[in-house]
Amino acid sequence: MAETTTTRQPGGPGKAIPDDPIAALLTADGVLTAEGERQAAISDERLRELYRLMVLCRRLDTEGLNLQRQGELGLWGPIAGHEAIQVAAARALAPTDWIFPYYRDFAMAVCRGIEPGLAMTWFRGLTHGAWSPQEHRFGPLIISVGTQVPHAVGFALGCKLDHDETAVLVSFGEGATSSGDWHEAMNFAGVFQAPIIFLCENNQWAISVPMAEEVAGRVAARAAGYGFPGVRIDGTDALTVYAIVRAAADRARRGEGPYLIEALTYRIGPHTTSDDPTRYRAEADFAPWREKDPIARCAAHLRARAAFDDAFAQATEREAEEAAAAMRQTLLNAAPAHPGTVFDLVFANPPDSLRRERDEFLAALEPGGTP
């Protein structure tokens, strides 16, 4: 599963870059070697935090599915199978780093301190922007496949030009790697050495299209064509995801350019609540992946360290249940956002033309904010 690429120095026919030290931390199956785990020096406390957040986000995900089936949400995209990727990647970054997510990255939003019930209002259709990207350093969830990738690269280049030691992470599914936006962003990042981590959450399915019909070869191998390293990792192992994303972010902040991580997992549930996966795949397709449950694997790591017991597991489950109930209550009590808020998150410093448009719009509203 681990795969490194040999790249060349940007700007000409320079000599080959030495073997990627990040990829050297991995076994052939894309998990940390014993030496890699030693170098990563991830504490028991941090690993327990990853476990707790994964349990919490899985319970919130289940509640999201329940809410949609009960008619309280217009749509929900289940995250089952993605917990290790999303939680570990988000927590591996510095608080000052930025994340540009795609539509399934609800767990990343939670890890960035966005209140779950507030985030849910987006899926209920109550708001166009449920949080401030600037406050959380977390962009909006993007439905249009792949369009967040060039946004993230442009932002990362801006950080570089401002001499701001910030790493930017952009996430996407493997289906997005077949889009033109993705390839253009990869090329631009490679040419200008943007401080960005490309994180592919490869769950094997682009809605009903299997991986074999999406990509010829491996996603990670494509990095070489754009002049920077790429690696495939086991996306069901939180310890590995955390260590590799943290190393890639450190690399980006040092000015060493982009890095592509293909994190392999499996989409256990439907693409969204509008999808019926039984029409295009069989139980046998994903039965082996149930044995690689991200939460169970994290618990196994903790047991091996003598850092897991029933009291911790039960306390985590109670916290998750309480969080799910609070999220539901927040969502059901939420009112639609004022129509004028659609202007608030467009520019940090709105141009005069937008200000005039906003003022004209607000003046045309009925009392109470009705258009």
Q: Tell me, what amino acid is at 316?
A: T
Task: For residues 293 and 297, give the distance between their C-alpha atoms in angstroms, rounded to a whole number.
Answer: 6
Q: Among residues 117, 119, 143, 116, which one has the least CA distance to residue 130?
A: 119
**Contact by Cβ (8 Å): 282, 31:** no
Q: Among residues 144, 136, 93, 107, which one has the least CA distance to residue 261?
A: 93
Task: For residues 93 and 110, give the distance between their C-alpha atoms in angstroms, rounded to a whole number.
Answer: 14
Q: 264: part of which helix (H) or strand (E)?
A: strand 259-264
Strand partners, 188: none
Q: Tell me, what amino acid is at 352?
A: D
DSSP 33-97: -HHHHHHHT--HHHHHHHHHHHHHHHHHHHHHHHHHHTTS-S-----TT-HHHHHHHHHHS-TTS
Report the catalytic residues: 267, 271, 280
3-state secondary structure 266-308: CCCCCCCCCCCHHHCCCHHHHHHHHCCCHHHHHHHHHHHCCCC
Task: For residues 267 and 205, give the distance between their C-alpha atoms in angstroms, rounded to a whole number.
Answer: 7
